[in-house]
């Protein structure tokens, strides 16, 4: 007996057909459909997926979400900062000098500063959770898919890209829902270009120092730059190394549902805690290593400490960008966690507090260097925790190293471009 | 209340009114915020005050969002006047957006008050009136529409 | 008595809600499926004196080899042979969901169906004759509204019931696919039954169907059987 001969066609097709036939037969006797009602979902979708209004409404909702995440969290960031500041002060009283410094500056100072960025990240995840639970996020992905398809990205890349604004780690983990291997790889490779929450303190410091009233615009430009670069690199990868069409985007649009506060908080919590666990260990380790490398050899001053030595050694490479050993040293530390760059600059200049650091920066560098530094921070090698996640998600060192090279080279090139433009426009 | 010619007309007028208001104040926020946005510090319109209180902040992007909300309301006017129930979708979503923005601005105001209570540096001179803006008080006018769109289930069947 | 209960269903049918209803948060354990990056959720609950170990399988539309999630779900059912498989069906999207039910019936899983989102189906104007449906499929069905925790007690009753009945009653499949295909299936089943290891490891009818579909994972698994040539002759 041969299957093909008996059936006359591919058994797989016949089986699928028979299953569907059976389903229809069964449902014909046990399901009565009733008149199709015009539901709340239909009403909402009329506007949310509207040809003209769909995208503006999408922009409005996401703008509102970002405003919520960054503005409503501001006082809470201060509260955390205050708390750790008090702890740092208290530990100054410890008799052993090295121990006091370790606990005060190393642990409480470093860790505390880093933890102040939990509120915006959590608030952002809460916003995303609410949009997700209500069912709107599926529509957003659907709308974005039309655009993303043209850019060589898959519609399902949208949510991971969005999460990247909070933290790249849960964002990269979210790529698991993307089916095509190439689609997923491209999304993973470009995700670090999306400006995560950790880079914000660096932008705020630099922009605040150099750009005065234009500071907010300068910071927004970083987000914009990140998105542009992500899109361009994705397109480039599509045309060269990872050629092919994105897999078709078939997705069910669930019915709209009022999100429950309880449910959304749980979703926020899951993503947030995951991020904390993953990133937290690196952050703490980073803070301690930073403290160690800049405090030792003991008593010698930052410039001659290990930190200073590293900075001086690498400085020549970055001279074209206008970076000196101090900036280079802080960038090396930012590899552990990008927020650390601010902390590092403080230690290197031996000053405390943002205003003091800002003052020191303005004294030593031009606004062009400042802007170059912001762009460099945005684009260069992602933090160690992200690198670890990349390795875990791709399972390959080849792609992880490729990403390291890609980000570093791109950051350098963009830095040169900015410095070049600055020179042409007449700034030193 | 059935969705008939009179009701449709009333809702159309209401949507038009609310839509135009959101759009106008959106434009005003852009004009007032323009100077700050382009770095010249010179706004295209000085400021709008009511009894000495500033009620429209400088905010280019915020203004754009208000215009978007206004456009959603306005898009439904035609269908509502023609008693086409699909026009009600625009009233519904417009109200939803207005409510969301109201909520966000409210939460920000509350957060700012937390900063004030703790007497943090950035909030020493903050007064709640500083946060007053169209996104907040225009919603009060949009409430009736929101109420109707949500509760009148019979209009959907 | 500990029974293993697997939860399966399409994405967005309320599977997580049901899992949370059955297993209180504190007793949930999240890990990874061995060797994979897909999350594995499991937990325990006690009902009327029996302990139920509940495993949440990844949400899938089908059980092919093409996606990691689907393979994980399928392998779990075939290899771990859970006492009960609860298929969570979205009542408001019932046609699409029933495809998976059929695949599960082919797998000879000890099935209980939770007909979830029953309220949404009603709102859509659907009228479902649950008894008739249950009779035609040969599977107990419990209507549920997981978000309102409705039907949970009845579901647990059916789960315990099914677990106790497992393997006791060998039922002939209620769903058949027409004379031609069934003839082929029986022919292949006869060959399979000659290979004792294969027959013991996998449900024969399911294996036959997978072979007809030229399922890559199954083709790999029968590689070492002495009856391989005979089987390949039929299906190629």
Per-residue pLDDT at A121: 83
Tell me which chain C residues have a C-beta less than 8 angstroms from the C-beta of A392. Answer: 37
- Residue C158 sits in a domain whose CATH number is 3.40.50.300
**A191 token code pair:** 């995700």
Sign of the Cα torsion A70, A75, A78, A84 reads negative
- Whether B97 and B144 have beta carbons less than 8 Å apart is answered as no
* In-domain check, residue C89: yes
**C153 token code pair:** 């007690």
**What does pLDDT average to over chain C?**
86
Terminal CA-CA length for chain C? 46
Give which of C178, C182, C183, C186 to mutate to test A binding, by max A Cβ within 10 Å.
C178
**What does pLDDT average to over chain A?**
83
User: Can you give the pTM of this predicted structure?
Assistant: 0.72
| Candidate from A4, A19, A29 with C-beta closest to C102 | A19
Q: Are C24 and C121 in a shared domain?
A: yes
Q: Are C14 and C112 in a shared domain?
A: yes
> Which residue in chain C is spatially nearest to A251 when comparing CA positions?
C11
Quote the CA–CA distance of A426 and A420 in Å, as a whole number: 10
State yes or no: pLDDT of C170 exceeds 60. no
Per-residue pLDDT at B63: 92
The whole domain housing B30 covers 5-99+133-156
Quote the CA–CA distance of A140 and A153 in Å, as a whole number: 15
- Whether B45 and B57 have beta carbons less than 8 Å apart is answered as no
Computed over its alpha carbons, how large is the radius of gyration of chain B? 18
Per-residue pLDDT at B67: 96
Per-residue pLDDT at A246: 65
For A355, other C-beta atoms within 10 Å of its C-beta total 13
Q: Are A315 and A169 in a shared domain?
A: no
- DSSP 8-state symbol, A261: H
Give which of B114, B121, B124 to mutate to test A binding, by max A Cβ within 10 Å.
B114
* In-domain check, residue B124: no
pLDDT tens for residues A62-94?
Answer: 889 988 988 898 899 888 888 888 888 888 777
Contact flag for C and B (3+ C-beta pairs < 8 Å): no
Per-residue pLDDT at B54: 79
* In-domain check, residue C174: no
Quote the CA–CA distance of A17 and A32 in Å, as a whole number: 22
Nearest one of A247, A262, A287, A246 to A383, comparing CA atoms: A287
Quote the CA–CA distance of B99 and B78 in Å, as a whole number: 23
pLDDT tens for residues A257-280?
Answer: 888 888 888 888 887 887 777 777
Quote the CA–CA distance of A306 and C53 in Å, as a whole number: 55
Domains held by chain A: number: 2
Q: Are A398 and A324 in a shared domain?
A: yes
Chains that touch A (3 or more CB pairs under 8 A): B, C
Q: Are C40 and C146 in a shared domain?
A: yes
Per-residue pLDDT at B40: 66
Letter string b/e over residues A162-196, b meaning 16 or more CB atoms within 10 A of that residue's CB: bbbbbbbbbbbbbbbebbbebbbbbbbbbbbbbbb
Give which of B100, B130, B136, B149 to mutate to test A binding, by max A Cβ within 10 Å.
B100
Per-residue pLDDT at B141: 92
- Whether A275 and A121 have beta carbons less than 8 Å apart is answered as yes
Q: B54: which strand partners?
A: B49
pLDDT tens for residues A88-121?
Answer: 888 877 778 778 778 877 777 767 766 777 888 8
Tell me which chain A residues have a C-beta less than 8 angstroms from the C-beta of C187. Answer: 1
- DSSP 8-state symbol, C166: T
Q: Are A203 and A306 in a shared domain?
A: no
* In-domain check, residue C189: yes
Residue C93 backbone dihedrals phi, psi, to 5 degrees = -140, 40
Nearest one of C132, C99, C136, C130 to C115, comparing CA atoms: C130
Instruction: Specify the DSSP element, H or E, that contains A33.
Output: none
**pLDDT above 70: percentage of residues in chain A:** 95
Query: Which strands sit side by side in the sheet containing C84-90, from one edge to the other?
Result: C28-32, C39-47, C50-56, C2-9, C84-90, C111-116, C141-143
State the angle between helix axes of C204-212 and C228-235 in degrees (0 to 180), rounded to the nearest 10. Answer: 50
Contact flag for A and C (3+ C-beta pairs < 8 Å): yes
pLDDT tens for residues A406-419?
Answer: 999 999 999 999 98
Side-chain-side CA neighbours of residue A138 (13 Å): 16
B65: closest CA of chain A, how far (Å): 5
* Upstream peptide bond of A99 is cis (omega within 30 degrees of 0): no
Q: How far is CA A103 from CA A111, A294, A333, in A?
A: 10, 14, 19
Answer whether B42 touches A (CB < 8 Å): no
Least reliable range by pLDDT among A128-142, A295-309, A401-415: A295-309
Contact flag for A and B (3+ C-beta pairs < 8 Å): yes
Quote the CA–CA distance of A61 and C32 in Å, as a whole number: 34
Pairwise CB contact (< 8 Å): A78 & B115: yes
Pairwise CB contact (< 8 Å): C126 & A252: no
Of C141, C165, C189, the domain-final residue: C165
* In-domain check, residue C111: yes
**B56 token code pair:** 């429209």
Instruction: Please indicate whether residue B14 or residue C63 has the higher confidence score (pLDDT).
Output: B14
Please state the ipTM of this predicted complex: 0.92
Answer whether B157 touches A (CB < 8 Å): yes
Q: How many residue pairs from chains A and B have C-beta atoms closer than 8 A?
A: 94
* In-domain check, residue B42: yes
Instruction: Specify the DSSP element, H or E, that contains A390.
Output: helix A384-394
* In-domain check, residue B119: no
Domains held by chain B: number: 1
Q: How far is CA C226 from CA C20, C191, C216, C222, C232, in A?
A: 46, 11, 18, 9, 11
Pairwise CB contact (< 8 Å): A67 & B104: yes
- pLDDT (tens place) for every residue of chain B, 157 residues total: 788 888 889 999 999 999 999 999 999 998 888 877 766 667 777 777 776 677 888 888 899 999 999 999 999 999 988 888 888 999 999 999 999 999 999 999 999 999 998 888 778 888 888 888 999 999 999 999 888 888 887 777 6
Quote the CA–CA distance of A56 and C115 in Å, as a whole number: 38
Q: Determine the average pLDDT of the residues in A194-199.
A: 86
| Candidate from A56, A63, A75 with C-beta closest to B111 | A75
Quote the CA–CA distance of A366 and A386 in Å, as a whole number: 31
As a residue count, chain C comes to: 236
Per-residue pLDDT at B106: 95
State the angle between helix axes of C179-194 and C228-235 in degrees (0 to 180), rounded to the nearest 10. Answer: 170
Q: Are C146 and C119 in a shared domain?
A: yes
Per-residue pLDDT at B41: 66
Q: Are A186 and A93 in a shared domain?
A: yes
> Which residue in chain A is spatially nearest to C128 when comparing CA positions?
A31
- DSSP 8-state symbol, A252: -
Nearest one of A133, A110, A165 to A294, comparing CA atoms: A110
As a residue count, chain B comes to: 157
Per-residue pLDDT at A249: 65
* In-domain check, residue A138: yes
Per-residue pLDDT at A132: 85
Per-residue pLDDT at C171: 56
Per-residue pLDDT at C168: 59
Quote the CA–CA distance of C190 and C47 in Å, as a whole number: 41
Angle at A194 between CA A191 and CA A197, to 5 degrees: 115
Residue with tokens 């955390």: A80
Q: Are C13 and C115 in a shared domain?
A: yes
Angle at C230 between CA C226 and CA C236, to 5 degrees: 130
* In-domain check, residue B114: no
State yes or no: pLDDT of A211 exceeds 70. yes
Tell me which chain A residues have a C-beta less than 8 angstroms from the C-beta of C36. Answer: none
Per-residue pLDDT at A401: 92
Quote the CA–CA distance of B60 and A4 in Å, as a whole number: 68
Instruction: Specify the DSSP element, H or E, that contains C115.
Output: strand C111-116
3-state DSSP call for residue C174?
coil
Instruction: Specify the DSSP element, H or E, that contains A226.
Output: helix A215-239
Q: Are A72 and A217 in a shared domain?
A: yes
Pairwise CB contact (< 8 Å): C125 & A36: yes
Quote the CA–CA distance of A15 and A41 in Å, as a whole number: 35
With 0-12 / 13-18 / 19 or more C-beta atoms within 10 angstroms meaning exposed / middle / buried, residue B147 is: exposed
* In-domain check, residue B104: no
Pairwise CB contact (< 8 Å): B107 & A72: yes
* In-domain check, residue C170: no
Nearest one of C143, C137, C142 to C161, comparing CA atoms: C142
Pairwise CB contact (< 8 Å): A78 & B111: no
Answer whether B148 touches A (CB < 8 Å): no
Choose from A29-43, A146-160, B62-76, C26-40 the range with maximum mean pLDDT. B62-76
| Candidate from A23, A31, A393 with C-beta closest to C126 | A31
- Residue C184 sits in a domain whose CATH number is 1.10.287.1770
pLDDT tens for residues A228-251?
Answer: 999 899 888 888 877 776 666 666
List residues of chain A with CB under 8 Å from any CB of chain B: 37-40, 42-44, 46-48, 50, 53, 56-57, 59-61, 63-64, 67-68, 71-76, 78-79, 82, 213-214, 217
Give which of A36, A41, A70, A74 to mutate to test B binding, by max B Cβ within 10 Å.
A74
Q: Are C53 and C12 in a shared domain?
A: yes
Q: Are A178 and A214 in a shared domain?
A: yes
- DSSP 8-state symbol, A198: G
Domains held by chain C: number: 2
A85: closest CA of chain B, how far (Å): 13
Pairwise CB contact (< 8 Å): C12 & A254: yes
* In-domain check, residue C171: no
* In-domain check, residue A252: no
Nearest one of B112, B127, B129 to A74, comparing CA atoms: B112
The residues, any chain, with a CB within 8 Å of residue A380's CB and separated by 6 or more, are A331, A407, A408, A411, A412
Per-residue pLDDT at C136: 87
The whole domain housing C215 covers 179-235
Of C165, C190, C210, the domain-final residue: C165
- Whether A264 and A133 have beta carbons less than 8 Å apart is answered as yes
Rounded to 10 degrees, the C-alpha dihedral A96/A99/A103/A109 comes to: 90
The whole domain housing A139 covers 54-245+258-272
Side-chain-side CA neighbours of residue C60 (13 Å): 24
* In-domain check, residue C172: no
Tell me which chain B residues have a C-beta less than 8 angstroms from the C-beta of A51. Answer: none
3-state DSSP call for residue C28?
strand
Per-residue pLDDT at A9: 82
* In-domain check, residue C120: yes
Q: Are C22 and C104 in a shared domain?
A: yes
Q: Are C114 and C183 in a shared domain?
A: no
For B128, other C-beta atoms within 10 Å of its C-beta total 11
Angle at C132 between CA C131 and CA C134, to 5 degrees: 65
List residues of chain A with CB under 8 Å from any CB of chain C: 1-4, 6-7, 11-12, 14-15, 18-20, 22-24, 26-27, 29-37, 39, 176, 179, 252, 254-255, 392-393
């Amino acid at each position: 007996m041969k299957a093909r001969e008996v059936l006359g066609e591919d058994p797989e097709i016949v089986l699928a057909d028979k299953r569907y036939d059976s389903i229809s037969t069964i449902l014909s006797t046990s399901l009565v459909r009733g008149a199709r009602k015009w539901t709340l979902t239909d009403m909402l979708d009329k506007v949310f997926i509207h040809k003209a209004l769909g995208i503006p409404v999408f922009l409005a909702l996401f703008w509102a979400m970002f405003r919520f995440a960054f503005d409503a969290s501001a006082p809470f960031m201060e509260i955390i900062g205050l708390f750790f500041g008090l702890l740092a002060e208290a530990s100054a009283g410890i008799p052993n000098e090295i121990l006091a410094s370790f606990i005060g500056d190393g642990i409480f100072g470093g860790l505390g500063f880093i933890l102040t960025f939990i509120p915006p990240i959590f608030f952002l995840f809460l916003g995303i959770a609410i949009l997700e639970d209500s069912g709107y996020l599926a529509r957003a992905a659907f709308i974005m898919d039309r655009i993303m398809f043209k850019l060589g990205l898959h519609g399902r890349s949208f949510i991971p890209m969005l999460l990247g604004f909070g933290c790249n780690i849960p964002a990269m983990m979210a790529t698991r829902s993307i089916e095509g291997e190439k689609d997923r790889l491209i999304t993973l490779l470009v995700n670090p270009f999306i400006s995560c929450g950790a880079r914000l303190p660096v932008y705020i410091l630099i922009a605040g120092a150099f750009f005065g009233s234009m500071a907010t615009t300068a910071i927004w430009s970083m987000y914009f730059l990140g998105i542009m670069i992500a899109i361009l690199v994705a397109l480039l990868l599509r045309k060269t190394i990872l050629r092919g069409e994105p897999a078709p985007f078939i997705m069910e649009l669930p019915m709209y549902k009022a999100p429950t506060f309880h449910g959304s908080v749980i979703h926020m919590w899951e993503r947030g805690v995951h991020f904390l666990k993953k990133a937290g260990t690196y952050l703490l380790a980073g803070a301690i290593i930073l403290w160690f490398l800049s405090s030792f050899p003991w008593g010698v001053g930052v410039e001659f400490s290990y930190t200073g030595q590293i900075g001086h050694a690498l400085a020549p490479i970055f001279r074209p960008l206008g970076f000196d050993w101090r900036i280079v040293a802080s960038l090396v530390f930012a590899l552990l966690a990008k927020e650390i760059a601010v902390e590092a600059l403080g230690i290197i200049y031996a000053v405390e507090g943002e205003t003091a650091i800002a003052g020191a920066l303005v004294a030593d560098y031009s606004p062009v260097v400042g802007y170059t530094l912001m762009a460099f921070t945005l684009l260069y090698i992602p933090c160690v925790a992200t690198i670890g996640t990349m390795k875990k998600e791709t399972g390959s060192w080849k792609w992880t190293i490729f990403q390291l090279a890609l980000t570093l080279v791109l950051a350098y090139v963009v830095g040169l471009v900015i410095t070049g433009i600055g020179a042409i426009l007449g700034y030193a | 209340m059935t969705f008939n010619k009179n009701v449709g007309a009333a809702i159309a007028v209401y949507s038009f009114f609310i839509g135009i208001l959101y759009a106008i104040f959106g434009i005003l926020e852009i004009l007032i915020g323009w100077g700050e946005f382009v770095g010249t510090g010179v706004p295209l319109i000085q400021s709008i005050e009511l009894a000495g209180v500033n009620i429209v902040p400088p905010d280019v992007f915020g203004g754009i969002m208000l215009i978007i909300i206004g456009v959603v309301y306005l898009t439904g006017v035609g269908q509502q006047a023609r008693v086409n129930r699909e026009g009600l979708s625009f009233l519904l979503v417009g109200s939803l957006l207005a409510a969301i923005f109201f909520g966000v601005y409210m939460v920000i105001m509350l957060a700012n008050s937390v900063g004030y209570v703790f007497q943090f540096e950035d909030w020493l001179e903050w007064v709640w009136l500083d946060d007053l803006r169209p996104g907040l008080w225009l919603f009060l006018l949009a409430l009736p529409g929101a109420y109707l769109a949500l509760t009148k289930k019979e209009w959907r069947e | 008595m500990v029974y293993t209960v697997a939860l399966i269903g399409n994405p967005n049918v309320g599977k997580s809600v049901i899992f949370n209803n059955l297993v209180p948060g504190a007793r949930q354990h999240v890990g990874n499926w061995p060797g994979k990056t897909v999350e594995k959720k499991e937990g325990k609950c006690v009902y009327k004196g029996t302990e139920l170990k509940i495993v949440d399988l990844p949400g899938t539309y089908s059980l092919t080899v093409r996606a990691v999630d689907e393979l994980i779900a399928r392998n779990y059912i075939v290899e771990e042979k859970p006492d009960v498989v609860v298929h969570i069906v979205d009542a408001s999207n019932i046609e699409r969901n029933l495809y998976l039910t059929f695949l599960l019936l082919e797998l000879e899983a000890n099935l209980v169906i939770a007909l979830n989102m029953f309220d949404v189906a009603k709102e859509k104007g659907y009228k479902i004759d649950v008894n008739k449906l249950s009779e035609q499929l040969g599977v107990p069905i419990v209507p549920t509204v997981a978000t309102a925790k409705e039907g949970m007690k009845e579901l647990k009753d059916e789960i315990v019931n099914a677990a106790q009945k497992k393997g006791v009653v060998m039922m002939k499949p209620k769903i058949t696919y027409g004379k031609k295909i069934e003839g082929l299936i029986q022919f292949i089943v006869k060959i399979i039954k000659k290979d004792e290891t294969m027959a013991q490891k996998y449900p024969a009818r399911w294996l036959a169907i997978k072979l007809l579909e030229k399922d890559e994972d199954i083709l790999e698994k029968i590689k070492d059987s002495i009856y391989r040539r005979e089987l390949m002759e039929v299906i190629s």
